[in-house]
C-alpha cells in the first residue's frame, strides 16, 4: 500500500469527494480540499473541518489552479467536474466538453510543475458506447462514440483518461483511473430541473405529484451505488497499487426506472400513479457494471 502523508482532493466537498475526504482523514492523511462549492457544500465536510485545509476556487481558472496546486503533495484524487442530469446535457454537449476540458488542462499543467507520487482521476461510465453489452466490462476508448445522451461529458472523460495516461508516463507518476457508474447519496446538491434521476424522482414523489412521470419507456435499467461506497472503492484501488488501466466502480445488479419510482413511493408511504414519457431521452436500455477486474484487484473489499 502506498504511504501517503499529504493528499489533495479536487471536488472534495461534493457527493463522492466529501466521503473520500472523511475516509482519508480516518486513514491519518493530511488532506487539502480544492472546491468551488458550485456542487459541493461546506457542511459535507463538517465532521472533519478541523483536520483539513480548504482552498476555494474554480479549477477552470488557470491562475487559481496553479496557486491551489502549487505546493507538493504525495497524492492527488481528482473528482472535480461539471456534471448534471440528462436534461442539462441536451443542447449543451459542446459547453460541457469545453468546461471539463479546461479543468483537465489546468490540473495537469499545474501538476507537471511538481508531480505527485500518485494521481487518481475520476472518469465515468459515460465513456462507453450505447451499443455495447448490457453488463459492461472495461472496454477500450475511441472505438465508437460515447453514450449519446451524455455525449459531451463522455468525450471529456475519455480525454481526461488519455491525457492523464500521457502525463503519468512523462512524469513517472502512478495513475489510477476509476470509472464510476450511477452514484447516489444524501449529500447530492439539488440542481432543479437539471438534477439526476434519483433526486429528481424522490422530489416528484415527495412533492405529491400524481402521476409521477418517468422519462423514456421506464423499462431502462441502471446499477446504482452509494457515494460512500464509491469513495471507499476509489481509495481501495489506490491502496492496492492499481496503476495499469481503468477500473469500473459499480455493481452488476440493476433496477428499472419504474421499479425505482415504486420503491421510492413505498418508502415515502405514497401511492401515485406512475406514467412514462417515451418522447424523453432514456439513454442506453441497460447499464450494468462488470466488476470482475475490481474484485480481482481488491478481493477483500467489504461492500
pLDDT per residue as tens digits for the range 169-223: 999 999 999 999 999 999 998 888 878 889 999 999 999 999 999 999 999 999 9
C-alpha cell belonging to residue 154? 463522455
Q: What local confidence, expressed as pLDDT, does residue 302 receive?
A: 83
Asked if residue 97 belongs to a domain, the reply is yes
Q: What local confidence, expressed as pLDDT, does residue 85 receive?
A: 67
Q: What is the dihedral of CA 287, 292, 298, 301, to 10 degrees?
A: 60
The CATH number that applies at residue 268 is: 3.90.25.10
Residues 212 and 141 in one domain: no
Alpha-carbon span 224 to 163, nearest angstrom: 28
Residues 214 and 173 in one domain: no
Beta-carbon count within 10 A of 114 CB: 12
Alpha-carbon span 254 to 286, nearest angstrom: 8
Asked if residue 231 belongs to a domain, the reply is yes
pLDDT in tens, the chain (303 residues): 577 999 999 999 999 999 999 999 999 999 999 999 999 999 999 999 999 999 999 999 999 999 999 999 999 999 999 876 676 677 789 999 999 999 999 999 999 999 999 999 999 999 999 998 999 999 999 989 999 989 999 999 999 999 999 999 999 999 999 999 999 999 998 888 878 889 999 999 999 999 999 999 999 999 999 999 999 999 999 999 999 999 999 999 999 999 999 999 999 999 999 999 999 988 889 999 999 999 999 999 987
- φ/ψ of residue 118, rounded to 5: -140, 140
Q: What local confidence, expressed as pLDDT, does residue 189 receive?
A: 86
Residues 214 and 270 in one domain: yes
Residues 170 and 232 in one domain: yes
C-alpha cell belonging to residue 20? 473520500
Q: What is the DSSP string of 57-79?
A: --TTSHHHHHHHT-S--SEEEE-
C-alpha cell belonging to residue 42? 461546506
Residues 100 and 201 in one domain: no
Asked if residue 302 belongs to a domain, the reply is no
Report whether 147 contacts 283 (CB < 8 A).
yes
Q: Which domain range does residue 215 map to?
A: 192-221+254-277
Asked if residue 11 belongs to a domain, the reply is yes
Alpha-carbon span 239 to 224, nearest angstrom: 23
C-alpha cell belonging to residue 236? 481501495
DSSP three-state, residue 133: coil
Packing angle, helices 227-239 and 17-26, rounded to 10: 50
Asked if residue 242 belongs to a domain, the reply is yes
Q: What local confidence, expressed as pLDDT, does residue 1 receive?
A: 54
Model confidence, pTM: 0.93
Residues 139 and 263 in one domain: no
Which residue bears the cell 477483500? 300
Asked if residue 283 belongs to a domain, the reply is no
Q: What is the dihedral of CA 110, 228, 245, 129, to 10 degrees?
A: -100
C-alpha triplet 48, 52, 58: angle, nearest 5° = 115
Q: How many CA atoms lie within 13 A of 275 on its CB side?
A: 8
pLDDT tens per residue across span 213-258: 999 999 999 999 999 999 999 999 999 999 999 999 999 999 999 9
64: left (phi over 0), alpha (psi -120 to 50) or beta: alpha
Q: What local confidence, expressed as pLDDT, does residue 16 receive?
A: 97
Alpha helix stretches (DSSP H) within the chain:
17-26, 62-68, 86-89, 93-111, 151-171, 197-206, 227-239, 257-267, 292-297
Q: What is the dihedral of CA 273, 285, 192, 213, to 10 degrees?
A: -20
- Give percent of the chain above pLDDT 90: 88
Amino acid at each position: 500500500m502506498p504511504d501517503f502523508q499529504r493528499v489533495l482532493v479536487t471536488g472534495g466537498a461534493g457527493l463522492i469527494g466529501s466521503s473520500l475526504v472523511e475516509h482519508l482523514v480516518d486513514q491519518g492523511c493530511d488532506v487539502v480540499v480544492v472546491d468551488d462549492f458550485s456542487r459541493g457544500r461546506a457542511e459535507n465536510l463538517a465532521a472533519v473541518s478541523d483536520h483539513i485545509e480548504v482552498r476555494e476556487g474554480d479549477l477552470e481558472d488557470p491562475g487559481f489552479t496553479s496557486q491551489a496546486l502549487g505546493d507538493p503533495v504525495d497524492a492527488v484524487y481528482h473528482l472535480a467536474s461539471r456534471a448534471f442530469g440528462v436534461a442539462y446535457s441536451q443542447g449543451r454537449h459542446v459547453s460541457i466538453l469545453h468546461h471539463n476540458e479546461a479543468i483537465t488542462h489546468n490540473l495537469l499543467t499545474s501538476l507537471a510543475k511538481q508531480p505527485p507520487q500518485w494521481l487518481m482521476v475520476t472518469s465515468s461510465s459515460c465513456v462507453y458506447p450505447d451499443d455495447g453489452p448490457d453488463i459492461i466490462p472495461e472496454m477500450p476508448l475511441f472505438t465508437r462514440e460515447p453514450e449519446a445522451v451524455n455525449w459531451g461529458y463522455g468525450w471529456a472523460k475519455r480525454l481526461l483518461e488519455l491525457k492523464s495516461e500521457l502525463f503519468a508516463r512523462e512524469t513517472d507518476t502512478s495513475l489510477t483511473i476509476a470509472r464510476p457508474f450511477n452514484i447516489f447519496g444524501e449529500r447530492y446538491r439539488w440542481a432543479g430541473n437539471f438534477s439526476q434521476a434519483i433526486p429528481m424522482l424522490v422530489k416528484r414523489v415527495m412533492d405529491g405529484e400524481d402521476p409521477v412521470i418517468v422519462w423514456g419507456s421506464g423499462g431502462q435499467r441502471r446499477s446504482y451505488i452509494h457515494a460512500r461506497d464509491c469513495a471507499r472503492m476509489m481509495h481501495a484501488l489506490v491502496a492496492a497499487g492499481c496503476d495499469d488501466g481503468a477500473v469500473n466502480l459499480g455493481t452488476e445488479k440493476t433496477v428499472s426506472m419504474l421499479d425505482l419510482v415504486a420503491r421510492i413511493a413505498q418508502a415515502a408511504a405514497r401511492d401515485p400513479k406512475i406514467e412514462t414519457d417515451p418522447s424523453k431521452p432514456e439513454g442506453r436500455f441497460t447499464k450494468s457494471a462488470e466488476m470482475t477486474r475490481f474484485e480481482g484487484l481488491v478481493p477483500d473489499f467489504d461492500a
